[in-house]
Amino acid sequence: MRLEKDLLYTKDHMWVDVKGREHTLGVSAYGVSEMEVVLFAEVPEEG
């Protein structure tokens, strides 16, 4: 598994990319290959 230096990883194969107040969440390639169901979440804009 290749790890990107500027991402934060969990033991559950998830990652977060933090850029100021913006955060992007994801799942590693291994985590996706092990999932039975793929989830998607869209959160509303702040305000």
* pLDDT top residue among 17 and 46: 17
Q: In this predicted model, what pLDDT tens digit does every residue of 8-25 receive, in sequence order? A: 989 988 899 998 988 888
Count how many domains the chain has. 1
Residue 3, pLDDT score: 65
E strand or H helix that includes residue 9:
strand 8-9
pTM of the model: 0.63
Per-residue pLDDT tens over the stretch 26-35? 888 888 888 8
Which residue type occupies 41?
Answer: A
